[in-house]
A = this chain, B = another copy of it.
Amino acid sequence: MFSRTTPIPFTESSMRTISSVREMQEFSEQARKEGKRIGFVPTMGYLHEGHCALVRKARELAQIVVVSIFVNPMQFGPKEDLSRYPRDFERDSGLLEKEGTDIIFAPSGEEMYPKGFTTLVQVRELEDHLCGETRKGHFVGVATVVAKLFNIVKPHCAVFGQKDFQQLAIIERMVRDLNMDLTIVPFPTVREEGGLAMSSRNIYLSPEEREKALLIYASIARLQTSVRSGERKATLLKEEARRILNSKEGIAIEYAGIYDPETLTGIESIDHKALYAAAVRIGNTRLIDNIILEV
């Protein structure tokens, strides 16, 4: 369960693939000594335009761009989609080369979690809400692997997509709390035509399911309009969102609500700005999305 299924192919470009923690650390240590800024984009691979936008952002901010590809077993629950999570290292490698990536860091499971591994990083409170309610332990897995990756890649900045809003909030809190000396750069969600947020899991959707998935963005657009028109009551906004999500059969809402963007706790009314976040299941596929509603 911890091994990578796709071997790392030989490539002739200047982009390098590193699979050893030690080698990655030595590379980064040397780059930092030379005064070069390192920009980092952690991914689980099966890259899409959303990831490419993060890499371009890192390219803007740093001299050296490192992208990690690691499907982190620690952030999957026992009944989740670890084994079927999509992987295609060659395609990813081609995309990253086009974006001017310098280093792909692609460790094996054994390299990241050797025998006897027991340490956890936990960002309390923020992990309890939203996805944390159904995905117990997920964010401990995320925080732990990202802490490890930061210690391995030693970046000056790391770019994270806002699609995973809770993940971003947790990483930002971890960096602040543990005094990690790097900057977290949030990047807006990239959407397909029709508004569906880009996700590696979109590949799971049948054409009919993809149609239904568009309702997630429809709910976002509706709440934006309502807030612009003056609606401030979270219960009413939440009802609106749920009405849209329930307008077709076959969408199971896990959560869809209005939250404080700092604490991720539910709020009653919108003062200044609020987070609308939703997670739904369509068939076997779990999709999440969110938007900041600004008054």
Contacts and interface: CB of A to CB of B under 8 A. Distances in A.
Interface of A: 21, 25, 29, 32-33, 35, 114, 116-126, 143-144, 147-148, 151-152, 154, 173-174, 176-181
A143 B121 CA distance: 10
A29 to B, nearest CB: 7
Contact of A151 (B117, B123, B179): B179
A138 to B, nearest CB: 16
A126 B118 contact: yes
A119 B121 contact: yes
> What is the count of identical protomers in the complex?
2
Contact of A122 (B25, B114, B122): B122
Given A121-B119, A122-B119, A123-B118, A151 B177 contact: no
A118 B173 contact: yes
A261 to B, nearest CB: 14
Contact of A33 (B33, B119, B179): B33
Nearest to A123: B119
Contacts of A154: 181
Contacts of A125: 118
A31 to B, nearest CB: 11
A119 B178 contact: yes
A178 B180 CA distance: 13
A66 B154 CA distance: 21
A245 B118 CA distance: 34
